[in-house]
Structure 1
Amino acid sequence: MITCVLQNADEMNPDAFLACVEKDAQERAKRRRENRILADALKEKGNEAFAKGDYETAILHYSKGLEKLKDMQVLYTNRAQAYIKLGDYQKALVDCDWALKCDDKCTKAYFHMGKAHLALKNYSVSRECYQKILEINPKLQSQVKEYLNQVDLQEKVDLQEKEALESLDSGKNTAMATKNLLETLSKPGQTPLFYAGGIEILTEMMKDCKPETCVVS
């Protein structure tokens, strides 16, 4: 808002009007520079807290920084990363959206979005986020490939766990289900469930079965 009083702008001297506009622009620029300094300082405090694993305090500093400068993209992506560390994936996604409003080519925003969607098991959306990084910066092909491999692996693990649980719930003999599950694990190309919850599944299976049926031959 122009700080000069312009009640009769049409009757105002053109030079005086331009001087008023220029003065207002200078004041705005000055306030922004001051707010930028404060926001940068709060970002550094947030980064220090993040490095110590104090993600709540980091979020507090990043949030205060955004109160000073609402279009500071790095504060959104940093806060999104802190939210991910705390498992608050929805808030992380909101911050990534805001970061992209500040800069629609922000690869960090797409990276954090991909990670949040992966944690939420939104595999197709996670892939889209990582692919977007490649569109923006083709030089990151090796990194993007690694991210996509992580999505494929996690999706495969979840599918195997789902199939194993469905097998248990189908009413089949416990010993046979255990044997089939172990056979599945031994097949080439199968992701070992022992590293993704398989131990928990097998433990649960063994709780209620009789000793004579729990032996897998």
Structure 2
Amino acid sequence: MGDSVTSVVQTRLGLTSTVNHYLQALKEKELGNAAYKKKDFKAALEHYEAAAKLDPTEMTFLSNMGAVYFEQKLYEKCVETCQKAVEVGRESRADYKLIGKVFTRIANAYKNMKDYKNAKIFYEKALSEHRTPETRELLSEVEKIIKEEERKSYISPEKAEEERNLGNKCFQEGKYADAVKHYSEAILRNPEDAKIYSNRAAAYTKLAAFEYALKDCDVCLRLDPKFIKGYLRKGKVLQGLQQHSKALDAYQKALDIDSTCQEALDGYRQCMIEMNSDPEEVRKRAMADPEIQNILKDPAMRLILEQIQNDPKALSDHLQNPDIAAKFQKLLESGLIAVR
């Protein structure tokens, strides 16, 4: 460096010997940088260490040492050195961008050690010093990994089966909303079990939540394409949505698995009838059913149907009652009413 630079530094530090140390430290840093670029990390480290001894108030030398340790995959040593660099930087009021960069390196070291929670902490610290798109992206990536690890750690087939059994008990008691809660917990505990989605689809169907039921049927069949109950559930759901041609296809796939399945045969026949009938014929056929007649004569059911027509959201409340849910399901199956 020239005489003018030496003069500035000399004025700042006050002592010629200190100036010399500072200049020697810069020279060591430059030699370290040259070695680092050549991937001669041993030589780079020696020069950075020499620079840090000559000027222990400059965080950059320690930061560069941390970079070398990172390249050498000595991640714990990298974290330790970079944390010391931050301490030195705080004392000397270093640029917040430099401190942010060091925090990012610490986070990267923790990430490579698969200590994702500490990586997240230090990415957040880095962003609090200096926000960059790169660091935000790294934080987002680590958060996804943490979320996936938490999901996997929550998986327990044994607990899933316990929750499924509780769901089955609620279903049998007509407590369909409670059944959905238990089946949902069972799915979180074992998301690869096809039959749980089928169970929840059945509960959703009882609650006339056909769109949710259809999604569960699709997941169920994706997990196990040979699970016949999945196709039967799907057929029922599509019938409830008055999508008879699609329901027919679901029942056909069930019959492809078991040609003697009575539920699939009945569903298939019913869909064929519905597809080839006009609305008036459907109504007449339904009204000829004594069970349908009794449902429609019930003053309470007539009042509920009127209320649902004016306020569709009221349906979910009424379906909490098992008796009403069963009657509503019968009306759906008859084709007299439909849920859109």
Q: Distance in 2 between matches of 1:78 and 1:102?
A: 14
Q: Distance in 1 between matches of 2:282 and 2:197?
A: 39
Runs of 5+ unmatched residues, structure 2: 1-72, 75-151, 297-340
Match of 1:188 in 2: none
2:187 to 62, 66, 80: 66
Q: Distance in 1 between matches of 2:282 and 2:180?
A: 39
Structure 1 counterpart of 2:287, one-letter code: F
Q: Distance in 2 between matches of 1:163 and 1:56?
A: 31
**Is the Cα contact below 8 Å between 1:39 and 1:69 reproduced in 2?**
yes
Match of 1:149 in 2: 269
Task: Measure how far apart 1:156 and its partner are.
Answer: 4.9
Structure 1 counterpart of 2:252, one-letter code: Q
Q: Distance in 2 between matches of 1:193 and 1:100?
A: 32
Task: Measure how far apart 1:146 and its partner are.
Answer: 1.4
Matched position secondary structure for 1:125: helix
TM-score normalized by the length of structure 2: 0.38
Runs of 4+ in structure 1 off by over 6 angstroms are none
Task: Measure how far apart 1:104 and its partner are.
Answer: 1.2
Mark the CA change 1:163 to 1:93 in structure 2 (over 3 Å): closer, same or farther: closer
Highest RCO, 1 vs 2 (Cα 8 Å, sep ≥ 6):
1
TM-score normalized by the length of structure 1: 0.58
**Is the Cα contact below 8 Å between 2:232 and 2:264 reproduced in 1?**
no
Task: Measure how far apart 1:151 and its partner are.
Answer: 1.6
Mark the CA change 1:37 to 1:117 in structure 2 (over 3 Å): closer, same or farther: same
Task: Measure how far apart 1:119 and its partner are.
Answer: 1.1
Percent sequence identity is: 27
Match of 1:113 in 2: 234
How many residue pairs get matched?
A: 144
| RMSD value, Cα | 3.0
Structure 1 counterpart of 2:268, one-letter code: L
Matches within 5 A, 1:1-217: 35-140=156-261, 142-156=262-276, 159-161=278-280, 192=285, 194-195=287-288
Which one has the largest radius of gyration?
Answer: 2
**Is the Cα contact below 8 Å between 2:247 and 2:271 reproduced in 1?**
yes
Q: Distance in 1 between matches of 2:202 and 2:236?
A: 9
**Is the Cα contact below 8 Å between 1:49 and 1:57 reproduced in 2?**
yes
